[in-house]
Amino acid sequence: MDKIKRVSEEAWTKWPRHSWTKAKLDNICNHACEIFNPRIKEARSKPIITLLEEVRMFVMRSIAKNKVKLNTHVRKIPPVIQIRLEKVRKESKNWVPIWTGDEDYEKFEVHGHPTNMVVDLGKRLCTC
């Protein structure tokens, strides 16, 4: 598509986007299908109504199981997110932010092991 745009801007704007855009959630869909397909393997050979009924029961059991897990959870952050935050916290312990002296306390120079970066919180910019 970039080649078409370089040759003719007008052709690029008129080209139907449905014929060249890619799926944005392909990875998520594949992961969900990989988990779901083995669960309904036996039901696939059954009539469609029976298949759908077994899928419905599988989904209901999954929802109920997740609800029980969530009811026992006492923190404000879900366990999966808590694990991710802990990982990021451990990775960031070697980074040191140094305020650059601006009036709004928005600009920092961040020193770390591989590189140093400048972060502007006001403009939401980073040199990383």
At 94 the pLDDT is 85
What is the rounded CA–CA span in Å between residue 12 and residue 1?
7
Has this prediction a pTM greater than 0.85?
Answer: no
* pLDDT value for 66: 87
What are the distances in angstroms from CA 20 to CA 4, 8, 17, 71, 99?
12, 16, 6, 45, 46
pLDDT at 84: 94
How many whole angstroms from its chain centre is CA 97?
27
Res 83: pLDDT: 92
Domain boundaries, the chain: 2-87, 95-126
Residues 6+ apart with CB under 8 A from 107: 99, 100, 118, 119, 120, 121, 122
Average confidence (pLDDT) per 10 residues, the chain, 128 residues = 76 67 55 77 85 90 90 83 91 87 88 85 88
Q: Read off φ and ψ for residue 15, nearest 5 degrees.
A: -65, 135
Tell me which residue of 110, 102, 105 sits closest to 126, measured CA to CA.
110
